[in-house]
Amino acid sequence: MDQTEHSDEASEGKPEPRDAAPHRRRRRWPRAAAVGAAVFLVWLVWSVGGALTAPGTDAVDARLAEWARTNYLGWIVDTLEHAQYALNQPQIGGTVQGGVPDVSPIAGELPPDGAASAPPSDAPSAQATQSPSPSPSPSPTATPFPAPSPITPLVNPPLPGEGVWKTLATLQGQPVLRVAYLRPDAQHTSYLDTVMWIDQNLAKLILHPGYLVPGGSGWSQAFDVPTSQRDSLLATFNSGFRLTDANGGYWADGKTAAPLREGAASAVFYKDGTVNIVKWGIAAPGPDVAAVRQNLVLLVDQGKVSPLVDSLTTPVWGNTWTTGFFLWRTAIGIRADGSLVFVIGPALTMGSLARMMKAAGAVRAMELDQNPSWTSLMTYTHPKHGVAVPHMLTNDTIPSPERYLYPSSRDFVAVQARS
């Protein structure tokens, strides 16, 4: 046997070289990475697909933004929104096309014979309590509130009809909803913001949960306005930020979706259908409270605008970089007589929003939401029993007019005629 054959036979009994096992392990990493990528891709398709096919009428971009924020990618949404704002800032100067719009009042209740009611036109000092208990909001009576005085415009000279209240809806011949229009400031003179006044003696307000905000189950109110409540439906509008951004809590039906925070701006919904806007104290909600929705801190307190509204570094308003941005925003406030005012419109900063609420007579006010995907105000007509036809009071908002007639992803407020 030659030397080569001897060498081959000897090699059969030798142990495997030391680097062979690590080499096999190195070959396994690409396979593991491929499996991991496939699992991630399946989850991504399933997760995003679920967001895009969820109930409701939210736009695709709004659904994707909500999905990103839910999955810890909010910084990407913020970056994109910041870039979009830089490219599409509101116009400076100019005039309001067509001037202050006319408003045709609608009947707030279904006509006895079921005939169609007329649609609207296409247009759009109490001291602060530390807790709503035991000081409830005004008790409902059959007596309508006195007509509010015209709002002093924020821009001079005013437009014809600017700040003048117009009847939007009536109950038994009495105005239950009124509307006025104001320009936000002396720079953005081509924009009109809408102020809606609500008579709490003739209307009641109900907080509806959303299936994502606050989410969960077991709430007494539905994720939409149910058919049984549509005959008396006057209006709907959006609620506050996502709870992770609101710096406040959500409580309803004795359940806590997010803990109530002392000092937070709070919309308190009572079981009698009235609402109060307060700075929350340390007391728990009383037995007369149906729900509490908190969002940031008060814009107006004791009839005075918060000194923080023009601060670009104070984080109490959420993302500080949006505080001075001219955005679509909404707010709700209570007047000294107990009536409510709601503001919606474009080109508003935190400061101009607060000053508009004060001009409208609010002694306490809080911001609700911002950006056109989430700000909304609809009124309704009733062509037949169980049917409410929505009408956008503003022309430029993105949400579908039917948003709250289908399951809503976020909580909202329904304004109903009192029986």
User: Residue 192 has what pLDDT?
Assistant: 96
- 159-181: average pLDDT: 94
Report phi then psi at 319, rounded to 5: -65, 120
- 38-65: average pLDDT: 83
> By CB neighbour count within 10 A (0-12 exposed, 13-18 middle, 19+ buried), where does 77 fall?
middle
| Pick from 408, 330, 409: nearest CA to 370 | 330
Q: How far is CA 10 from CA 6, 117, 380, in A?
A: 6, 102, 94
User: Residue 112 has what pLDDT?
Assistant: 46
Q: Cβ neighbours of residue 87 under 8 Å, at least 6 residues apart?
A: none
Query: What's CA 19's distance to the chain center, in Å?
Result: 62
Give yes or no for residue 296 having a pLDDT over 90: yes
User: Residue 2 has what pLDDT?
Assistant: 53
Tell me the percentage of the chain whose pLDDT exceeds 70.
84
The predicted-structure confidence for 318-338, as pLDDT tens digits, reads as follows 776 678 899 999 999 999 999
Predicted TM-score (pTM) of this structure: 0.85
Report phi then psi at 234, rounded to 5: -100, -45
Average pLDDT value for the chain = 85
Q: How far is CA 310 from CA 245, 247, 355, 371, in A?
A: 19, 19, 11, 19
Give yes or no for residue 302 having a pLDDT over 60: yes
User: Residue 140 has what pLDDT?
Assistant: 46
Higher-confidence residue: 19 or 284? 284
> By CB neighbour count within 10 A (0-12 exposed, 13-18 middle, 19+ buried), where does 137 fall?
buried
In this structure, of 8-17, 73-82, 348-357, 402-411, the range with the lowest mean pLDDT score is 8-17
- 382-402: average pLDDT: 86
Higher-confidence residue: 103 or 379? 379
CB 293 within 8 A of CB 239: yes
DSSP assigned state of 405: G
| Pick from 234, 237, 226, 235: nearest CA to 386 | 226
In this structure, of 2-11, 50-59, 179-188, 301-310, the range with the lowest mean pLDDT score is 2-11
pLDDT tier at 133, thresholds 50, 70, 90: very low
Identify the H or E element spanning 277.
strand 275-279
Higher-confidence residue: 44 or 272? 272
CB count, 10 Å around CB of 70? 14
Give yes or no for residue 85 having a pLDDT over 90: no
pLDDT tier at 119, thresholds 50, 70, 90: very low
In this structure, of 91-95, 123-127, 191-195, 362-366, the range with the lowest mean pLDDT score is 123-127
Tell me the percentage of the chain whose pLDDT exceeds 90.
59
Q: Cβ neighbours of residue 211 under 8 Å, at least 6 residues apart?
A: 54, 55, 56, 223, 407, 408, 409
Query: What's CA 30's distance to the chain center, in Å?
Result: 46
Alpha-carbon dihedral angle through residues 211, 217, 221, 225, given to the nearest 10 degrees: 30
**Cα–Cα distance between 325 and 171 in angstroms, integer?**
39
- The domain segmentation of the chain, as residue ranges, is 20-87, 106-417
Report phi then psi at 31, rounded to 5: -65, -40
In this structure, of 83-87, 132-136, 314-318, the range with the lowest mean pLDDT score is 132-136
Exposure string over 270-289, b if 16+ CB within 10 A, otherwise e: beebbbbbbbbeeeebeeeb
- The strand pair at 106-107 and 166-171 is best described as parallel
**Cα–Cα distance between 351 and 296 in angstroms, integer?**
14
User: Residue 247 has what pLDDT?
Assistant: 94
Q: Is 229 helix (H, G, I), strand (E, B) or coil?
A: helix
Give yes or no for residue 6 having a pLDDT over 80: no
User: Residue 168 has what pLDDT?
Assistant: 94
Give yes or no for residue 45 having a pLDDT over 50: yes
**Cα–Cα distance between 73 and 62 in angstroms, integer?**
14
The predicted-structure confidence for 93-109, as pLDDT tens digits, reads as follows 999 998 999 887 776 65
Give yes or no for residue 187 having a pLDDT over 90: yes
| Amino acid letter for position 402 | E
Q: How far is CA 227 from CA 107, 174, 250, 350, 386, in A?
A: 19, 25, 25, 37, 5
Give yes or no for residue 115 having a pLDDT over 50: no
Give yes or no for residue 313 having a pLDDT over 90: no
Side-chain half-sphere CA neighbours of 327 within 13 A: 25
Q: What tokens appear for 127 in the block?
A: 């001291």
